[in-house]
Amino acid sequence: MKAVLLDAASLGDDVDLAPLAAAVDELVIHQHTAVEQCVARLTGAQAAICNKVVLDADTLAALPGLSLICVLATGTNNIDSDAAARQGIEVRNITAYGTASVAQHTLMLMLALANRLPLYQHDVNAGDWQHSKSFCLMTHTTLQLDGKHLVIVGQGELGQRVAHLAEAFGMRVSFTARPGNERHDQRPTLAQLAPAADIISLHCPLTEHTRHLIDQAMLSKLKPGAILINCARGGIVDDGAALAALRQGFLGGLGVDVLPQEPPSQGHALLTALQDKLNLVVTPHNAWISPEARQTVVDMTADNLRQT
């Protein structure tokens, strides 16, 4: 079997791709691939390996010899799955490869925002501590995690790992009903839990039921000072509404690792807001990028290739 890896650069340059090569007869590696290059590069291949390259219906129709697509991620939204199914092309993804890495990142955001790290860093950079009459700054009231209520949307492996870490800090954890399935789910809904939440952390997929799950109406249900963390998908939070709540002092902190468009080549309001004095952290979709997690991506994809 010939396989073509379309966007190896998405894995970084410090992972071992040997497991992929060992799983097939021939492996061709491209660092980056534009949509218009896909047909030429995949012609003659039986397997396509990609992370964020879009394989749409027109592209797949031009590749009658393709029988397998291995996605280097959990989400398969870049693949026209209906078109693949019509052509008999199997689409295989991977799950739970970055649980430890993303959970650690989530706790990093939680701790930074609870301790008002962006605000205090701003003060130190501005010279406020150097010119203080006291030995410390207490300008911004911090949030002690012990005894606080963490509400998690998404009770999969990642959500459960975040809960386990949060409980080590003495937090009380609640999981919401799955958005879109509230009528058949005995767990409380996010709307029911939101008023008592000190922190909300999102670990759910982006679907028709979760798009703008956190909007102005949901934000208005939160207690003043609550913290919001999104390490799931851009689009689950109405970023404009969340930023407005943060500027108004109603939202106590906002941490996001994802934006609706990535990379945000056209800019984004949250990126502009980083210049202001806000309890805001934006990271570049890198919660998953520990070397261990990225190597697991390769190893799990090699397993998918061998299952032919």
Contacts (Cβ under 8 Å, ≥6 apart) of 16 = 295, 298
Whether residue 158 has pLDDT greater than 90: yes
Fold equal for 2-97+291-306 and 99-282: yes
Domain 2-97+291-306: homologous superfamily in CATH: NAD(P)-binding Rossmann-like Domain (3.40.50.720)
Task: Give 166's pLDDT tier (boundaries 50, 70, 90).
Answer: very high
Tens-place pLDDT, residues 248-283: 999 999 999 999 999 999 999 999 999 999 999 999
Determine which helix (DSSP H) or strand (DSSP E) holds 152, and give its type and residue range. strand 149-153
The reported pTM is 0.91
Is the domain 99-282 a CATH 3.40.1800.10 member?
A: no
Q: Are 25 and 2 in contact (CB under 8 A)?
A: yes
pLDDT at position 77 is: 85
Q: Tell me the average pLDDT across 38-49.
A: 98
Distance CA 268, CA 279 (A): 17
Give the distance from CA 256 to its chain's centroid: 8
Query: In percent, how much of the chain has pLDDT > 70?
Result: 100
Contacts (Cβ under 8 Å, ≥6 apart) of 275 = none
Tens-place pLDDT, residues 187-230: 999 999 999 999 999 999 899 999 999 999 999 999 999 999 99
Distance CA 39, CA 58 (A): 9
All structural domains of the chain with their residue ranges: 2-97+291-306, 99-282
Tens-place pLDDT, residues 80-135: 999 999 999 999 999 999 999 999 999 999 999 999 999 999 999 999 999 999 99
| Catalytic residue list | 233, 262, 285
Distance CA 180, CA 119 (A): 37
